[in-house]
Amino acid sequence: MSVMEPILNVEDLQVEFDIIPKNAWPWTRPLKLKAVNHISFELNAGETLGIVGESGCGKSTLARAIMGMVVSQQGKIVWLGEDLRTLPAKDLRDRRKSLQMVFQDPLASLTPRSTVGDIIAEPLKTHFPKMPANERKEKVKTMMVKVGLHPDQINRYPHEFSGGQCQRIGIARALVLEPKLIICDEPVSALDVSIQAQVINLLMRLQKEMGLSLIFIAHDLSVVKHISNRVMVLYLGNVMEIASSDELYTQPRHPYTQALISAVPIPDPEVEASKEHLLIEADLPSPINPPSGCVFRTRCPKAQAQCAEQMPELRNIQGTHRVACHFAKG
Amino acid sequence: MLFSSKDKKVAALAESLEGVQGRSLWQDAWRRFLTHKAAVASLFVLGCLMLFSAFGQHLSPWDFEQIDWSALANIEEKGRPSIENGHYFGLDPVGRDLYQRTIQGSRISLMVGFMGAFVAVFIGTIYGAIAGYIGGRVDSIMMRTLEVLSAFPFMFLVIVLMAVFGRNVLLIFVAIGAVSWLSMARIVRGQTLSLKRKEYIEAAVAIGVKPFTIVIRHIVPNVLGVVIVYATLLVPEMILFESFISFLGLGVSEPHTSWGALISEGAGNMRTAPWTLIYPMAFLVVTLFCFNFLGDGLRDALDPKDR
């Protein structure tokens, strides 16, 4: 690996939500829900980091916390040498130029009463208010061509497009400022499989053309494998494992990752039937009251007494492969 | 061969379609509105009514303050509606032309109605959207302020204003404006709370749009559907309210009049001169019906899902 300065460095990030129980007195202390629990990672320029995990494991919260849309309680989000958490709101808005986001629901993320042209032009209007209108329109049209939309559709409205097209509009809006990083929060979960492939290939192509970094959140492991250089596995707000994509899929070390990967269906009925499935018992524990020690121990097939007492550190076991399990061997 | 010729036709058609202007949600709503017959008819009637109250006075030789001395002694006989002497709607009990007075009253009543609705839309929408969007403590303070205002005995306020400053049309506008936006603000706040978590608002935040711009550019256009419907229903409410104040004798001052004042006057003479009640009442009833149908049609047009 080259000695490159990472463009994004998240250190010990923690996000808590206050949960006010039903029928509580006004003076009772709200319960704390730890959505993101001491997460650290870094991201290099041009790299794609996949984030996977079950529903409710804090993937989206992590993304929103990096964008500053959710208040984080502790830690650092160092973006190009500046800690975004300590920046005043005005500067934070300005930094958004280089840090954009693509959302899960393609149609819901577009303002229903604006035309596509206005939607894609909004970042330009916000950050370059003095740009002449025709130049802005030109930029929007080029961007539409780039993401595979017809520039003649500039005057149409979001409800006149299909889901895949809407997601292309969302991507165009994120890219029009030529950012350095795009956070994709489950960008393909709402699309059907053939469209998923189109959108992912589009993202990969644009990444190459524009030298983007991506944070790609999904719960579909095969999608993440296709696009990511490195993958981070989250469980209940904690990092279970980070490794390069190849290594994680061929040699998962954490029992949770192993179970996740064995659950990925293989599109061949014979192989699928003969494959060994590692089933995980029980449901996700409540994040308000997480298990002591290792958060995964209640469902872990390898759990021992040690797991309930001591939280496993996220430790390097081989190169950049990091695992949070007492029993993972290098 | 068969297919290729068809393909060419389709391609040619597609060529000719390029640069098509999409239909916005507003245009869609307008088309749906046009299919609602009662609402379209109401819009037409209201349009006519407004034109009539703006220009109708030129059709009669009389003036709304002028007393017809020749008929004053015998209103019950000579004051009846007739085309010949130019008193189309008859005379009021003091011998003034009711046609002119109805037109004058229409102006005041419609103005009060629209003014109230306008103030409600303007202040209520902005206030509610800001309270809902910012949320938290700001929201609490803004909504508590609103509750204090709406708990204030409003009739009392009107009476005090009238007693202190004398009877003045402007004061009615002030008084009506002061209350009309309260419930509008509440409605808009509720809508905003549900819009705030929509992904397109988050997307705007992610782009780096300033909060006030988000309210104006993303929240207000999307609550406007509800606001417009509510505003059309608010206009008749305001007209009724003004009528009520006038009926109590606190409204506009003579020689000016309004529908409420005319009806109040007419109600006193309905045995001897029924026309003094019937004409202004007909105007009021027609207007109220029309606005209600209009609101109905707009609601159907603007949120087709809730039908």
| Closest CB to B207 among A96, A156, A159 | A96
What pLDDT, on the 0 to 100 scale, is given for residue A304? 85
The SS3 call for residue A76 is strand
Range of the domain at A211: 6-235
Q: What is the per-residue pLDDT across A163-191, written as a single tens digit (0 to 9) for each?
A: 889 999 999 999 999 899 999 988 888 88
**Cβ contacts of B205 on chain A, cutoff 8 Å:** 67, 69
Query: Mind listing the pLDDT tens digit for each residue in A245-277?
Result: 888 888 888 888 888 888 887 778 887 777 777
In this structure, is residue A329 part of a structural domain?
A: no
A105 and chain B in contact, CB less than 8 A: yes
Shortest distance between the Cα of B135 and any Cα of chain A, in A, equals: 15
The pLDDT of residue A230 is: 92
With contacts defined as CB-CB under 8 Å, which chain A residues touch B210?
93, 126
Beta carbons of A103 and B202 less than 8 Å apart: yes
| Residue range A125-149: mean pLDDT, rounded | 91
Residue B216 DSSP code: I
> How many domains would you assign to chain A?
1
Confidence at residue A290, expressed as pLDDT on a 0 to 100 scale: 85
Residue, of A278 and B151, whose pLDDT is higher: B151
pLDDT of residue B304: 57
Share of chain A above pLDDT 90, in %: 20
Contact B207, A122 (CB under 8 A): yes
- The answer to whether the CB atoms of A101 and B22 lie below 8 A apart is no
What's the confidence (pLDDT) of residue A1? 42
Residue (of A3, A168, A155, A175) closest to A100 by Cα position: A175
DSSP H helices in A15-146: 59-67, 89-95, 116-127, 133-146
CATH of residue A207: 3.40.50.300
Q: How large a percentage of chain A has pLDDT more than 70?
A: 98
Helix, strand, coil share (%) of chain A residues, nearest 5: 35, 20, 40
A154 within some domain: yes
The verdict on a CB contact (< 8 Å) between B208 and A96 is yes
Q: Does B4 touch chain A (CB under 8 A)?
A: no
How much of chain B is helix, strand and coil, in % rounded to 5?
75, 0, 20
Residues of B in contact with A101 (CB under 8 A): 203, 206
Considering only CA atoms, which of A65, A98, A55 is closest in space to residue A80?
A98
Q: Do A108 and B198 touch (CB under 8 A)?
A: yes
Q: Identify whether A324 is part of a domain.
A: no
Instruction: For residue A55, tell me if it sits in a domain.
Output: yes
> Is A155–B203 a contact, with Cβ atoms under 8 angstroms apart?
no
How far CA B127 is from CA of A52, B185, B204, B205, B231, in Å, comes to 42, 6, 21, 20, 15
Task: Please say if the pLDDT value at position A215 is more than 90.
Answer: yes
Q: For A23-80, how does the pLDDT look when each residue is reduced to its tens digit (9 = 90+)?
A: 777 788 888 888 888 899 989 888 999 999 888 888 889 998 988 888 888 888 998 8
- Tell whether B14 lies on the interface with A, counting CB pairs under 8 A: no
The confidence score (pLDDT) of residue A264 equals: 81
Mean pLDDT, all residues of chain A: 87
Q: Count the Cβ atoms, other than its own, within 10 Å of residue A302.
A: 14
Chain B residues whose CB is inside 8 A of the A104 CB are: 199
**Tokens at A184, concatenated:** 């994709």
**CB atoms B20 and A103 under 8 Å:** no
Contact B199 A109 (CB under 8 A): yes
pLDDT at A2: 45
For A37-53, the pLDDT digits (tens) are: 889 998 988 899 999 98
Residue A29 lies in a domain: yes
CB contact under 8 A, B207 and A173: yes
Residues A219-235: tens digit of each pLDDT: 888 888 889 999 999 98
Give contacts of B26 with chain A, Cβ < 8 Å: 113
pLDDT tens per residue across span A189-203: 888 888 888 889 999
Query: Is residue A212 assigned to a domain?
Result: yes
Q: Which ranges of chain B have pLDDT less than 50?
A: 1, 306-307
Q: Do B205 and A69 touch (CB under 8 A)?
A: yes
The pTM score is: 0.79
Q: Would residue A161 count as lying in a domain?
A: yes
**Interval A89-112: pLDDT, tens:** 888 888 888 889 999 888 889 988
Sort out which chain B residues have CB atoms less than 8 A from A122's CB and list them: 204, 207, 209, 217
Quick check: A299 pLDDT over 80?
Answer: yes
Would the pLDDT of A218 be above 80?
Answer: yes
Does residue A300 fall inside a structural domain?
Answer: no
